[in-house]
């Protein structure tokens, strides 16, 4: 649903087929786009009209669906996280590489235009080397409607696999990708939602940069007030919406909550709100040798040695345009973005390392990391 405005607005993409178990979704797709609605992913992957497949299924299904797409030679855009287990992630990376197809993991907020702008500033050398990043976000994530498995960590539930991977992706992109160690703690404080709802982590990188990552999904403080009252998806946020997530769940059992979640799926009538700003993932400060960068929903504020300025990231008519840019470059020009299957696996490794560090109380060394294309070229 969140990619739907992008698919509708970007003329470089034509939706020719879809797969969904819900007949209502298939019927709605055929009515809007005129393509073919398949009942299975295998049938979709075998469709000769399809060049690339966007996998937007629950986390634990990604491995099977990516494997099906790769077997049929389709390029793949798979929702974050790449998978739940690192074993599945390894198999997905191998399947894509064996088939010779591109595997792109996203959209994550590392594709956001202000993040890309900050990375270009870093690559240009104008602000010097990255030394420290502070990223934090407070949301209502844990109290949005959930299916039962979304509240079980072992099935990819909780804030780390769905939310932490956004923050990890952003920080890794800004710091060059090659993280080497994690120390972390997590919080699971609501017995009715028995999974991680918060974490804090310290992550170090090759070259000496380090980052702090903090997230809470417990629906109390809302860090969007520090993002000029712009919501995560780029729309204006009204103070009157405070507490809306918790109120919507009052009196609902697990079955009723799962039904409420289906109202947010394609074909059920709900639509993403119009965005007047870029998407964001909470306050992010990047400390460099010659400036600090503050990422905002509209661009990057630069605090230099002697001057302070704002560099706008223009908002175009196509939301998430950078995702389609990456897909098009991969499919048409054989140019991979930073967010490859190996990149997604590296971010997933950090999610697991946070859980392991929190459980053991010890720092965890990382072994599956990869750098950005720019960092690798400079190595």
- Among 105, 136, 168, the domain boundary falls at 105
DSSP assignment of 126-179: TT--EEEEEEEEE--GGGS---GGGG-GGGT-SHIIIIIHHHHHHHHHHHTS-E
Last residue of a domain, one of 75, 105, 135: 105
Nearest-angstrom CA–CA distance, 159 and 136: 13
- Indicate whether 135 and 49 sit together in one domain: no
Q: Give the number of other CB atoms < 10 A from CB of residue 129.
A: 14
CATH number at residue 271: 3.30.360.10
**Is the domain of 150 the same as that of 43?**
no
- Spatial CA neighbour of 123 closest among 375, 376, 379: 375
Mark whether 33 and 96 lie in a shared domain.
yes
Rounded to whole angstroms, the Cα distance separating 262 from 251 reads: 18
What is d(CA 342, CA 93) in angstroms, rounded to the nearest whole number? 6
Residue 261 pLDDT: 87
- Rounded Cα gap, residues 85 and 352, in angstroms: 9
In a structure prediction context, what are the per-residue pLDDT tens digits for the chain, which is 379 residues long? 889 999 999 999 999 999 999 899 899 999 999 999 999 999 999 999 999 999 999 999 999 999 999 999 999 999 999 999 999 999 999 999 999 999 999 999 999 999 999 999 999 999 999 999 999 999 999 999 999 999 999 999 999 999 999 999 999 999 999 999 999 999 999 999 999 999 999 999 999 999 999 999 999 999 999 999 999 999 999 989 999 999 999 999 999 998 898 887 777 766 777 899 999 999 999 999 999 999 999 999 999 999 999 999 999 999 999 999 999 999 999 999 999 999 999 999 999 999 999 999 999 999 999 998 655 544 4
> What pLDDT, on a 0 to 100 scale, did the predictor assign at position 82?
98
Specify whether 33 is located in the same domain as 178: no
- Indicate whether 44 and 119 sit together in one domain: no
Under 8 Å between Cβ of 133 and 286: yes
How many separate helices (H) and strands (E) can be counted in the chain? 13, 14
Domain count, the chain: 2
* CA terminus-to-terminus distance, the chain: 39
- Is residue 65 one of the residues assigned to a domain? yes
- Whether 202 maps to a domain, the answer reads yes
Residue 323 lies in a domain: no
pLDDT of amino acid 263: 80
HSE of 357, CA atoms in CB hemisphere, 13 A:
21
Strand partners, 303: 292, 308
- Tell me if residue 340 falls in helix, strand or coil: strand
- Provide the pLDDT for residue 266: 75
pLDDT at 181: 98
What pLDDT is recorded for position 379? 47
Q: Assess whether 114 and 73 both reside in one domain.
A: no
Helix or strand or coil: residue 226?
helix
Please enumerate in sequence order all residues whose Cβ is within 8 A of that of 182, keeping only pairs 6 or more positions apart, or say none: 201, 202, 203, 350, 353, 354, 357, 363, 364, 366
Q: Among the three residues 69, 90, 105, which one is the final residue of a domain in this structure?
A: 105
In 3-state terms, the chain is what percent helix, strand and coil (to 5)?
Answer: 40, 20, 40
What is the domain-level CATH number for residue 63? 3.40.50.720
What Cα–Cα distance (Å) separates residue 335 from each residue in 111, 197, 206, 349? 16, 37, 25, 24
Kindly state whether residues 113 and 71 are assigned to the same domain: no
Do 33 and 123 belong together in one domain?
Answer: no
Do 95 and 165 share a domain, yes or no? no
Instruction: Say whether the peptide bond before residue 107 is cis (omega within 30 degrees of 0).
Output: yes
Give yes or no for a contact between 133 and 175, defined as CB atoms under 8 angstroms apart: yes
- Residues 295 and 352 reside in one and the same domain: yes
Q: Is the same domain home to 113 and 160?
A: yes
241 & 118 share domain: yes
Continuous segment of H or E residues that includes residue 349 = helix 341-360
In terms of residue numbers, what domain contains 42?
Answer: 4-105
């Amino acid at each position: 649903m969140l990619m739907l405005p992008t698919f509708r607005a970007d003329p470089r993409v034509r939706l020719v087929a879809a797969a969904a178990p819900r007949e209502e979704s298939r019927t709605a797709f055929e009515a809007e786009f005129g393509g073919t609605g398949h009942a299975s992913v295998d049938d979709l992957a075998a469709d000769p009209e399809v060049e690339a497949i966007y996998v937007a299924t629950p986390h634990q299904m990604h491995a099977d669906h990516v494997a099906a797409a790769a077997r049929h030679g389709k390029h793949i855009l798979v929702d974050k996280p790449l998978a739940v287990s690192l074993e599945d992630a390894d198999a997905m990376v191998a399947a894509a590489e064996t088939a010779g197809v591109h595997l792109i993991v996203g959209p994550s907020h590392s594709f956001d235009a202000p993040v890309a702008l900050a990375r270009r500033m870093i690559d240009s050398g104008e602000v010097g080397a990255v030394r420290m990043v502070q990223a934090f976000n407070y949301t209502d994530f844990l109290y949005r409607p959930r299916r039962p498995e979304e509240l079980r960590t072992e099935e990819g539930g909780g804030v780390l696999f769905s939310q932490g991977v956004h923050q990890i992706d952003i920080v890794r992109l800004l710091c060059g990708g090659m993280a080497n160690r994690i120390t972390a703690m997590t919080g699971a404080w609501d017995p009715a939602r028995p999974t991680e709802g918060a974490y804090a982590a310290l992550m170090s990188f090759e070259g000496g940069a380090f980052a702090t990552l903090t997230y809470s999904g417990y629906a109390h403080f809302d860090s969007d007030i520090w993002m000029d009252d712009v919501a995560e998806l780029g729309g204006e946020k009204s103070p009157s919406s405070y507490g809306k997530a918790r109120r919507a769940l009052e009196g609902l059992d697990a079955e009723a909550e799962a039904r409420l979640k289906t109202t947010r799926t394609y074909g059920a009538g709900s639509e993403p709100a119009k965005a007047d700003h870029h998407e964001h993932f909470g306050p992010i400060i990047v400390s460099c040798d010659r400036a600090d960068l503050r990422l905002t929903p509209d661009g990057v504020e630069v605090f230099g040695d002697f001057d302070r300025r704002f560099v706008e990231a223009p908002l175009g008519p196509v939301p998430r345009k950078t995702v389609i840019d990456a897909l098009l470059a991969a499919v048409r020009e054989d140019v991979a973005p930073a967010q490859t299957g190996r990149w997604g696996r590296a971010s997933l490794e950090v999610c697991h390392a946070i859980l392991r560090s929190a459980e053991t109380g010890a720092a965890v060394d990382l072994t599956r990391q990869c750098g950005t294309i720019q960092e690798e070229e400079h190595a």
